[in-house]
Structure 1
Amino acid sequence: MIKHIARIGLVAIIGLFIIQACGNGSEEVRISSEEFEQKYSEVPGIVIDVRTQDEYDEGHLAVTDRHHDLLNGDFEARLDSLDKNKTYYLYCRSGNRSGQAAKLMIENGFENVYNIGGFEDLVAAGLESKK
């Protein structure tokens, strides 16, 4: 009986460690285009396009402040030059790369980071784009 209780306790402790490790705040925050427009009007922040140069050249959001390609390592190389106290809004083609970039920023101590999704969806929602 005591061994059974000890096993249950051990499993519970391991489970708590796993939950804590997975829930340490390193998850990216995905917001909709509507949430982005609202939040951006309250807290302007820095908008970063993490797509490739070719994708960026084909068109990007008019509010884009920076272009740091995630795939070629440019984004990660520039992390140290970004102010961790500012607010960042990241986008890519579908929201996948911007999610990866947001997670990378959070893991490096950034707190105000938002994945605003994919470029086409943002434009379809009415955000202005330019070439």
Structure 2
Amino acid sequence: MSILDFLFGGANNSDAIEVLGKEDYKKAITKGKIQLVDVRTAREFAAGHIKGACNIDYFNPSAFKADFAEMKKDKPVYLYCQSGNRSQKAAKKLVGMGFSMIYDLKGGYRTWNY
């Protein structure tokens, strides 16, 4: 790992993470049974979420780790948060946990209008 990777997170910017625009994200999540996760707080989730999503709060580290440990690492995981910031951080954590196909909603739930 280079010093730049260490400082700027290059090692975590894995090929396993792909950011999708809302149209591509919508197409992807409508294809059968998927692992769709809202990483916002329970309060944010209750205020509105994408149909079919489960809620795993990024800010609750023990539950985050335990809940994702129950998920299939070899299947795609679709993440979103309010703006895309937390979901990017969550995606990097998931790479470290062994997930290999992570898709993040560009701009987060605030851009979702379906």
TM-score (structure 2 length as normaliser)? 0.78
Report the more deviating stretch, 78-87 or 34-43.
34-43
Equivalenced residue count is 107
Structure 2 residue aligned with 1:58, among 42, 47, 50?
47
Give the Å deviation of 1:32: 0.7
Per the alignment, residue 120 of structure 1 pairs with 110
Higher percent of residues as helix: 1
Give the Å deviation of 1:40: 2.7
Give the Å deviation of 1:98: 0.7
Q: How does 1:18-97 map to 2 (within 5 A)?
A: 18=2, 22=10, 26=14, 28-42=17-31, 44-64=33-53, 66-73=54-61, 74-97=63-86
Alignment partners' CA distance in 1, 2:66 and 2:85: 19
8 Å Cα contact 1:70-1:101 kept in structure 2? yes
Give the Å deviation of 1:52: 0.5
Q: Which structure 1 residue ranges, 5 or more long, are not aligned?
A: 1-16
Report the more deviating stretch, 73-82 or 21-30.
21-30
Q: Which structure 2 residue ranges, 5 or more long, are not aligned?
A: none
TM-score (structure 1 length as normaliser)? 0.69
Give the Å deviation of 1:61: 0.9
Give the Å deviation of 1:31: 0.9
Instruction: Indicate the RMSD between aligned Cα atoms, in angstroms.
Output: 2.4
Task: Show CA shifts across 1:2-39 (max 9, x none).
Answer: xxxxxxxxxxxxxxx52888357636321111111232
Choose 1 or 2 for highest CA Rg. 1
Report the more deviating stretch, 105-114 or 36-45.
36-45
Give the Å deviation of 1:103: 1.1
8 Å Cα contact 1:99-1:115 kept in structure 2? yes
